[in-house]
A and B are shown apart, each in its own frame.
Chain A
Amino acid sequence: MIPLWLIPLFPLLGAIILGIISLASSDSQKGAPEFLLGFIGLLFPLLSFMAVLSLSFGGANTPIQETLGTWIDISFLQIQFGFLFDSLSKMMLLFVTGIGSLITWYSIGYMKHDRGFARFFAYMNFFLFSMIILVLADSLPLTFLGWEGVGLCSYLLIGFWHKDSQNAIAGNKAFIVNRVGDIGFLIAMLVLLSVGGSAFLSYEGLNAGLAGLSQAELVKIIPALALAAFFFFFGCTGKSAQIPLLTWLPDAMAGPTPVSALIHAATMVTSGVYLLARLSNLFVLVPSVLSIVLWIGLLTAFWAAVAGLFQNDIKKVLAYSTISQLGFMFMAAGVAAFDVAIFHVFTHAFFKAALFLGAGAVIHSLSGEQDMRKMGGLIQKMPITAIVMLFGFFAIIGFPGFAGFWSKDLILEKLFEFGAMGPYLYAFALLTAVLTAVYMGRLIIMTFFGSYRGSLEKSESIHDPSFSMLVPMLILTIGSAFAGYLWATLIPGANWFEQTLAPVLSSAQNHIHVQSVIHLSPLVFALVGTVAAFFGLFLAWFIFNRPVPLSKDSSDPKGFGASWTFLWDTIHQWTSVFLVKMASWFMSVVVNHFVLFVQWLLVGIVEILSDGARAIQVRKVRLQMGLSFVGILFVILIVYVYGGAV
């Protein structure tokens, strides 16, 4: 049996080795050979993937718990440093390490001839390490360690090309917005600690503690649990880019495209959904927080889908589609269908990575052009990339048979069955699904159909990417076509995914019983979903299949599109940023002047006193020594006379 600590150790080793190489070669003009660096950078994620594979399919199907030692041991807090490998972390690890390895492989081709090659792969390995720690941890504080680690790596990778200040600003924004969410995570941990002691901070202890509570005890601590759940969810909105902390993700597209694929589509943003599933036993006890999760998910999905319609930058469209899909995952979690949420995380990882890598290939061959208005007709020049993107596209809109079809239909079905409100939720989500097809159709049409609108001298050099980039893209394409069959509701017996997750999530999901008002067969949902996808597709075709006017201005949206896109930026500007600015004004004007006044007062007193003291100085060394001796004698005399009782 492979010890669990090997899984995070491999990428950590890779990060250390590559980091040392990067530092050592920072003075040389050329840097270390890229072939070797790429090999090291890919080897360690692959080794870790192999370890996960052999643990998942080689051993017994029981959860493995491994404690490495005591991490924190003080009177009110005892935390063990340990890993937990159950079916939930297994599913997450499979695609985190698997897709992580594929994207690292792709990056070897994408980052070729970049001077920061070694640094890039060191960051990528460190990111995978943090993500594995996040998923594999058996306690909340250790998860928080990984949670912070992915935030740090996201900052480093978004600002990877830091010579352009825009990229550095985007990195800062991602980091700061994430920190706001992290405060929620910290507060929630403190609340749990104060409710149940340090036992509540480990997942097993939390589940056992919540299950062991009597009804009377439960009623007493429900408000505290609701507070904890709410703040955990607030932390999730930061990491998973939900309302209100979602503004960082579109800006994060400033990083290299493989980074966007890895961090902001396939792995890091899913950690919020993972945390909800991991704490499912806590969340089902407080349905009020779950309904907040549901509504935030619904609103985020809808808002981001509309915002996706206005973008001209190919990566920005994908960024908003990620936010929208994450909204779908939160909807599923909000109706306590945590396994469905994780299933959508799983399929989304495949098709979103495929879409991003395809977009990266397009950007790469157009030498950095991201504006879709300067693309078009690329299906003839880069057919394989077009096929990859089309497969990802069919998966995301829910084309029958593709991965997204199964997972999105499951989410819609669960929404419909959620009590009397269900059909309305279903309709709202279905509208968002139609919008998904429209904006994604717009992306495909503007990029691959019509005629090429870019500058002509480039058009001969446009071609499919090299072999090393194509292979991972094709593997992901296969995934986005077939990953859905792991839980296909229409095919009897094809529910491996549900069965695998059942040991971890079923107790929570059985806790909430909401009777659906109308019973429909899954076939109806599949049919409606298919109609929605086709309707959106045709809508996109009718609206967008026409010549796009040439434009030289920036790719940012304008007019209503701009105010919709930057709605949350504006709200942040007027609320939190404004408050911080007010506080800093108060600090700099009122508090600062008060401190200056106190300082001036003290200095004045000290100067007066010191002038007085200086006047009695005699400036003779021997005389002063003699005086101090006399003083000591005087003290001794007093002590002698009064017997030291003074």
Chain B
Amino acid sequence: MELHASYIQILALALFAIGIAVALTRRNVFFVLMGVELSLNAVNLSFIGFAKTLAFEASIAGQIVPLFTIAIAAAEACVGLAMIILIFRSQDSMDIDNYSNMKG
């Protein structure tokens, strides 16, 4: 059975909404990070979904961009986790609301 392209977009939108909601509502900093990652991957899925609607030659770009996004997301996660570990060491807290003492 052929999967209709709009279903993929709906799934991507749902994932994106969940990701944003997690990032905005959870106070644990790891969950915030996971929410951001989830919304990133939702966008990747959206790319693939749109690529599927095109002819083979024209769909190449839509398939390649997610690869780049994954690579950059990996690097970003790396840096983000390292920063969180450092902040955790100095703050002794996982609560993102406590990280507000960079007062200008």
- Which A residues lie at the B interface, using CB under 8 A? 610, 614, 617, 619-622, 625-626, 629
> A621 to B24, Cβ gap below 8 A?
no
- Which residue of A614, A622, A626, A629 has the most chain B CB atoms within 10 A of its CB atom? A622
Partner of B97, one of A610, A622, A626, A629: A622
Identity of the chain A residue whose Cβ is nearest the Cβ of B24 in the assembled complex: A626
Chain A's nearest CB lies how many Å from the CB of B22?
11
Chain B's nearest CB lies how many Å from the CB of A389?
77
Question: Residue B103 at the A interface, CB < 8 A?
Answer: yes
CA separation between A617 and B23, bound complex, in Å?
A: 20
> A620 to B23, Cβ gap below 8 A?
no
Chain B's nearest CB lies how many Å from the CB of A573?
56
Report whether over half of chain A's contact residues are helix, strand or loop; otherwise say mixed: helix
CA separation between A98 and B51, bound complex, in Å?
A: 77
Identity of the chain B residue whose Cβ is nearest the Cβ of A617 in the assembled complex: B104
Question: Residue B13 at the A interface, CB < 8 A?
Answer: no
Identity of the chain A residue whose Cβ is nearest the Cβ of B20 in the assembled complex: A629
> B104 to A614, Cβ gap below 8 A?
yes
> A625 to B100, Cβ gap below 8 A?
no
Partner of A621, one of B20, B97, B103, B104: B97
Partner of B24, one of A610, A614, A617, A625: A625
Task: Give B10-46 as 1s and 0s: 1 = Cβ < 8 Å from A's Cβ atoms.
Answer: 0000000000100111010000100000000000000
Chain A residues near B61 (CB-CB < 8 A): none
> A620 to B32, Cβ gap below 8 A?
no
CA separation between A429 and B23, bound complex, in Å?
A: 95
Partner of B100, one of A610, A614, A621: A621
Question: Residue B68 at the A interface, CB < 8 A?
Answer: no
Chain B residues near A621 (CB-CB < 8 A): 32, 96-97, 99-100
> B24 to A622, Cβ gap below 8 A?
yes
Chain B residues near A619 (CB-CB < 8 A): 100, 102-103
- Which residue of B32, B96, B103, B104 has the most chain A CB atoms within 10 A of its CB atom? B104
Chain B residues near A622 (CB-CB < 8 A): 23-25, 27, 32, 96-97
Chain A residues near B32 (CB-CB < 8 A): 621-622, 625
Task: Give B72-104 as 1s and 0s: 1 = Cβ < 8 Å from A's Cβ atoms.
Answer: 000000000000000000000000110110111
Chain B residues near A617 (CB-CB < 8 A): 104
CA separation between A629 and B35, bound complex, in Å?
A: 13
Identity of the chain B residue whose Cβ is nearest the Cβ of A611 in the assembled complex: B104
Chain B's nearest CB lies how many Å from the CB of A216?
63
Identity of the chain B residue whose Cβ is nearest the Cβ of A626 in the assembled complex: B24
